[in-house]
Amino acid sequence: MTTAAPHGLPELFTEDVFTRGLRRVVTRGRLLTDQASLERYAHDDAEWAPFVPPLAVVCAATTEEVAAVVRVAAEHDVRVVPRGGGTGLSGGANAVDRCLVLSLEDMRAVLRIDADERIVECEAGVVNDDLRAAVAVEGLWYPPDPASSSLSTVGGNAATNAGGICCVKYGVTGDYVLGLTVVLADGSIVRLGRRTAKGTVGYDLTSLMVGSEGTLGIITELTLKLLPLAGREERAVIGTFPSLRAAGEAVAAVSRAGILPAALELVDRTCLAAVDEWQGLGLPHDAEAMLLGKVDQVGEAGAALAEAMAGLFRAAGGTDVRTAEDPDAVERLFRARRLAYPALERLGPVLTEDVCVPRGAVPEMLSRIQAAAAEHDVVIANIAHAGDGNLHPLIIATPDDAAAESRAQAAFARIIDDCLALGGTVAGEHGVGLLKLAGAHDELGARVLEMHEAIKTALDPRRLLNPGKAFPKH
């Protein structure tokens, strides 16, 4: 038995001792220590969020294996950074000093689909699109659809409370999480939530875990609510606009009119050009912005709602406003929105914002984003889940240019300040991670930060689970 040194670490700790401990509990081939793997798993897709190589990577196969790994890490005072598909854009899955990266990506089983109760039980590593396909066979639908849905996992979606294109009408991931299996910091396994439509026993610890970015526990299994797949008839409403502000005014007008679209997305000129150059979709290059709306009511009600939205687009200055009912045409248009981020990545490093403001403040926030671009001499492209006020300004910097990076960071901070001034939040769906800690500090305030610290201390007193993420230390 080893004795603790004054600084709290096992006196005889070495990486070899630690990895030997892991080998005793990890299935053969699931412990990775080669340099290529350590580099691959050291960070997510966030630009300029700090990271260091982890001590090791474990690609867990079961909840019990996750728990055993956490116990070994705790024994050696090694931090644990959980990871799903690695598609995050805030540094939430980035490795920190003296840590193990624990990947859930191989836990991909859809455990049970209950068509009568409209629920699904699955492991955390199931990819969002794969889950949708699996439940569709039973005539069911899982609405949350982040732009990374072909790559991101439902466990990662829950950890950040991810949204997506449909969330304006159908809500974000947390609206569909009924229950969770979670491994806590001491390696114990708990089951939270329920499998029933209603339930009020105890504190809502399920919601506490959703959006906690792996800082309170590691989600390994989920029970998710589903909706019927039938009863929807999609129509797209498309319009181009002479300015970002005009597009924002159309968004605000749709909200004021009481229309609840199934989607309302904004793509600006820079994004349209980047996607079209890459994919050749025939997108317009002469408009400052395009709005992509969608309604899904059936029959005459859906047609009338689409025409009403089209009228609001025109009244706000929209041109070339039209509707589309053909499923292939609707999918092609929304494909342009989903491809915007990877298309821009081809132009250089992209620093991604994730601010969310009240819908009525969308026009002003878009104007302030343009002002930030001019003030700091940076290129800012804009995509947005505009229907719920969630804006994604994408700041493009010249590779390997320190001055350009500094200007991009300054624009990033300015946008966060403007968002808070308009009554918004600094993280709509990507999580705080590492990139939004300063903004989260300003948004939460001292007393609420104390509450966060108290909860963290109760569940993870040694600060071993994803330390330094999600909220700043008070």
The DSSP code sequence of 375-424 is HHT-EEEEEEEGGGTEEEEEEE--TT-HHHHHHHHHHHHHHHHHHHHTT-
Q: Give the integer Cα–Cα distance in Å for 342 and 215.
A: 28
Q: Which of 345, 359, 365, 341 is nearest to 421 (CA)?
A: 365
- How many domains, in total, are found in the chain? 4
Residues of the chain with pLDDT under 70: 1-13, 474
Judge contact between 297 and 304, C-beta under 8 A. no
Tokens describing residue 72 = 């070994």
- The domain boundary, picked from 341, 361, 389, lies at 341
H or E segment and range at residue 308:
helix 299-315
63 and 164 together in one domain: no
- The domain boundary, picked from 88, 106, 124, lies at 106
Q: Dihedral of the CA atoms 310, 312, 316, 318 (nearest 10)? A: 0
369: domain CATH number is 3.30.70.2740
pLDDT score, position 284:
87
93: domain CATH number is 3.30.43.10
- pTM of the full structure: 0.93
Question: Could you tell me if residue 461 is inside a domain?
Answer: no
Domain that holds residue 259: 231-341
pLDDT score, position 334:
85
Question: Could you tell me if residue 7 is inside a domain?
Answer: no
86 and 174 together in one domain: no
Q: Give the integer Cα–Cα distance in Å for 313 and 335.
A: 21
333: domain CATH number is 3.30.70.2190
CA dist list (Å): 350 to 60, 369, 392 = 31, 15, 11
223: domain CATH number is 3.30.465.10
Question: Could you tell me if residue 305 is inside a domain?
Answer: yes
189 and 297 together in one domain: no
Query: How does pLDDT run across 232-258, given as a tens digit for each residue?
Result: 999 999 999 999 999 999 999 999 999
Question: Could you tell me if residue 72 is inside a domain?
Answer: yes
354 and 376 together in one domain: yes
Question: Could you tell me if residue 455 is inside a domain?
Answer: no
Question: Could you tell me if residue 190 is inside a domain?
Answer: yes
126 and 194 together in one domain: yes
236 and 287 together in one domain: yes
301 and 331 together in one domain: yes
Q: Give the integer Cα–Cα distance in Å for 88 and 135.
A: 25
Question: Could you tell me if residue 170 is inside a domain?
Answer: yes
97 and 114 together in one domain: no
171 and 77 together in one domain: no
117 and 211 together in one domain: yes
Question: Could you tell me if residue 402 is inside a domain?
Answer: yes
Judge contact between 110 and 142, C-beta under 8 A. no
373 and 385 together in one domain: yes
